[in-house]
Structure 1
Amino acid sequence: MGVVSFILGLPLAPVRGVISLGRVIQERVETEMRDPASVRRDLEAAEEAREAGEISSGEEARVQQEALDRMTGEPESPGAVKE
């Protein structure tokens, strides 16, 4: 029965491969988002933008909160509006 299952399941092998690849990519993205170096770069970029007058202090605070939420793994609130 194993040979028959293998032969009948063979056409689905590419689909299984794509699903596995998607899982690996998702894991990598989540790891990168929580990486302290990435969060630090975002915080430094927000600070530099505020000092250059490109964003307000309120926008900088929003960026800081988003970066901290990413690092702690807190999900975004469903009612949050992205700009």
Structure 2
Amino acid sequence: MGLVGQLLTFPLAPLRGTNWVLQQVLETAEREYYDPAPVRAALSELERQLLNGDITEEEFDRREDELLAEFTWRTEQQRRLNS
């Protein structure tokens, strides 16, 4: 962009800056939302509950299936974001 183009679009600089900040916030929020780490922690806690006898084997199986489905979905979404 030449000098004239820069001068003519100078008033739009705050909008470009705001757009960049919003894009960074969105990308960070998506990375955190799709992070599979909380699901891993929930699976560990679920296993601890089973070993302590706090839940039955059937309850463990049901909740484990739900968490594994969530883990798979988050992992796929995170992979999509990184590509």
- Shorter chain as normaliser: what TM range? 0.5 to 0.7
Q: Percent identity?
A: 25
Which 5+ residue runs of structure 1 have no aligned equivalent? Answer: 75-83
Q: Secondary structure of 2:19's match?
A: helix
Tell me the TM-score normalized by structure 1.
0.53
User: For 1:38-65, what per-residue CA distance to the aligned partner results, in whole angstroms no more than 9, with x for missing partners?
Assistant: 6444322101113324445454334312
Of structures 1 and 2, the one with the larger relative CO (CA 8 A, separation 6+) is 2
Q: Secondary structure of 2:14's match?
A: helix
Task: Indicate conservation of the 8 Å contact 2:40/2:71, yes or no.
Answer: no
What RMSD in Å do the two structures reach over aligned CA positions? Answer: 2.9
Tell me the TM-score normalized by structure 2.
0.53
Aligned to 1:10: 13
Which 5+ residue runs of structure 2 have no aligned equivalent? Answer: 75-83
Q: Could you tell me how far apart the structure 1 residues matched to 2:73 and 2:31 are?
A: 15
